[in-house]
């Protein structure tokens, strides 16, 4: 095993043997190459003659770039064209951590500095690399890409349990956590894709209780919180913070990992910027720094570093006085669509479909009765010029992308199609 990896493992083991036991084989082997090209270039950064880094510079030390690209940018060239660190821009990491704490007031300031990823999908891959060996527990339905991320071409299995059973399915969560095996890896995604469900505050308390009890009984639990749609909660009584707030400081046998980013939260889908952040009871600087080193090692080996241009853009945006205001305007647009969906649905009988519970996010699902979802989808597209997603026996409706004025028509088309298909 590499010397750097051994050193990191020693730190993690000394500071927190439980977190060490949670690391996968690959997670133990990964490290950030402290003495490699990046580190050596950083040391040479201010030298008179710097012939270290693989970036081209002009004779005056500005980046050697193409004007056709730079003239489209208002940013300083060096903040866009050069590489960002594999960990992400330090100011952005600090800012995002401050923002996490502000958006989650009950979260103790005992979490790691976030490491910048190239979107949330990349954050999941890093998580997989560090912690998953054979299985991950996920409430079903879930975002289909988890199949590719966690299982495709690998021996890992997704152990699913039904998300709903008269609200959030606490009973099956408990069974899953208390099944054989000491280490449990669990994924929560609220607001959920595809259902648009976030648990109520009461349900979150029950979830936390169940996890805490399993931890007390000796289970070592790593929970990844996929917070892609954070902040888009539309009803009172629904948990407003990330469940990470509750889990990051709950018990020494629980490591909470937050994967989030600007993709949906800040309406910047193509910027490809996400974050991975760690929290555990009694976690300390040394432990968090070693975990960040490991995460940055996976960044370095997979994409080297996330887009510098996007990181600079975002840092500027977060400091802008209009940031909160503009976000709130977008939130209102989505909330109005959500309300319209609820209003329209109230007009329909439950002959052909039942809406699954929803209260947040971008989506809602209709569970179809006696009609084939894929056939309905195809007919909707061909006959009614209406696009939705078919998932097993459900249709996923993204009200995030449908204009308010067309929501009534959208459900009318679905109802008519189901009726025709039933005949």
Q: What is the nearest approach in angstroms of ligand PLP to the Cβ of residue 263?
A: 3
Minimum distance of ligand PLP from residue 228's CB (angstroms): 4
Taking the least distance from each CB to ligand PLP, the nearer of 32 and 271 is 271
- Give the DSSP H or E segment for 278: strand 274-280
In whole angstroms, give the CA distance from residue 52 to residue 363.
Answer: 49
Please, are residues 190 and 360 in contact by the beta-carbon 8 Å criterion? yes
Q: How far is the CB of 120 from ligand PLP (least distance, A)?
A: 3
Which one of residues 27, 33, 119, 199 is an interface residue with ligand PLP (CB under 6 A)? 119
CB of 363 to ligand PLP, least distance (A): 8
How many other C-beta atoms can be found within 10 angstroms of the C-beta atom of residue 336?
A: 14
Q: Which residue, 260, 261, 154, 253, is CA-closest to 212?
A: 253
Q: Is 274 in the site for ligand PLP (CB under 6 A)?
A: yes
**Binding of ligand PLP by 261 (CB under 6 A):** yes
Q: Is 234 in the site for ligand PLP (CB under 6 A)?
A: no
φ, ψ at 55 (rounded to 5°): -125, 150
E strand or H helix at 214, and its extent? helix 201-216
Nearest-CB residue to ligand PLP? 119
Q: Using CB under 6 A, pick the residue from 198, 214, 253, 263 that binds ligand PLP.
A: 263
* Residues in 182-211 at the binding interface with ligand PLP, rule: CB under 6 A: 189, 193
143 sits near ligand PLP (criterion: CB under 6 A): yes
DSSP assignment string, 117-157: ESSHHHHHHHHHHHH-SSEEEEEES--THHIIIIITTSS-E
Closest distance of CB 157 from ligand PLP, Å: 20
Q: Which is nearer to ligand PLP, 300 or 396 (CB)?
A: 396
Main-chain dihedrals φ then ψ at residue 249, nearest 5 degrees: -140, 30
Cα within 13 Å of Cα(75), Cβ side: 18
Query: Which of 228, 256, 291, 373 forms a contact with ligand PLP (CB under 6 A)?
Result: 228
**Interacting residue ranges for ligand PLP, rule: CB under 6 A:** 119-121, 143, 189, 193, 226, 228, 261, 263, 274
């Amino acid at each position: 095993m590499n010397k750097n990896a051994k050193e990191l493992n020693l730190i993690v083991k000394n500071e927190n043997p439980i977190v060490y036991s949670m690391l996968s084989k690959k997670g133990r082997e990964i490290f950030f190459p402290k003495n490699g090209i990046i580190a050596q270039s950083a040391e040479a950064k201010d030298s008179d003659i710097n012939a270290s880094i693989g970036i081209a510079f002009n004779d005056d030390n500005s980046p050697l770039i193409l004007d056709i690209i730079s003239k489209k940018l208002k940013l300083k060239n060096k903040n866009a064209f050069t590489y960002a660190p594999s960990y992400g821009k330090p100011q952005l990491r600090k800012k995002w951590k401050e923002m996490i704490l502000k958006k989650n007031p009950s979260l103790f300031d005992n979490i790691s500095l976030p490491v910048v990823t190239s979107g949330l999908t990349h954050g999941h891959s890093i998580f997989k690399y560090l912690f998953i060996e054979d299985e991950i527990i996920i409430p079903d339905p879930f975002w289909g890409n988890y199949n590719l991320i966690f299982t495709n071409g690998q021996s890992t299995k997704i152990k699913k349990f039904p998300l709903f059973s008269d609200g959030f399915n606490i009973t099956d969560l408990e069974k899953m956590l208390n099944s054989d095996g000491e280490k449990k890896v669990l994924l929560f995604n609220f607001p959920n894709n595809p259902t648009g469900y976030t648990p109520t505050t009461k349900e979150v308390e029950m979830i936390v209780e169940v996890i805490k009890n399993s931890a007390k009984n000796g289970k070592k639990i790593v929970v990844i919180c996929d917070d892609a749609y954070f902040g888009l909660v539309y009803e009172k009584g629904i948990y407003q913070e990330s469940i990470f707030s509750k889990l990051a400081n709950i018990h020494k046998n629980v490591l909470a990992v937050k994967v989030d980013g600007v993709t949906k939260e800040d309406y910047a889908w193509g910027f490809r910027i996400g974050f991975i952040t760690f929290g555990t009871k009694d976690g300390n600087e040394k432990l968090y720094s070693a975990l960040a080193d490991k995460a940055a090692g996976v960044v370095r080996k997979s994409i080297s570093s996330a887009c510098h241009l996007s990181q600079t853009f975002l840092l500027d945006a977060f400091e802008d006085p209009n940031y909160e205001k503009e976000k709130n305007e977008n939130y209102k647009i989505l909330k109005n669509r959500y309300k319209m969906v609820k209003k329209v649905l109230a007009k329909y009988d439950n002959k052909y479909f039942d809406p699954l519970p929803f209260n947040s996010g971008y989506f809602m699902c209709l569970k179809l009765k006696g009609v084939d979802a894929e056939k309905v989808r195809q007919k909707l597209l061909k006959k009614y010029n209406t696009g939705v997603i078919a998932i097993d026996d459900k249709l996923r409706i993204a009200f995030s992308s449908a204009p308010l004025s067309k929501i009534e028509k959208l459900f009318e088309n679905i109802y008519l199609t189901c009726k025709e298909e039933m005949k």
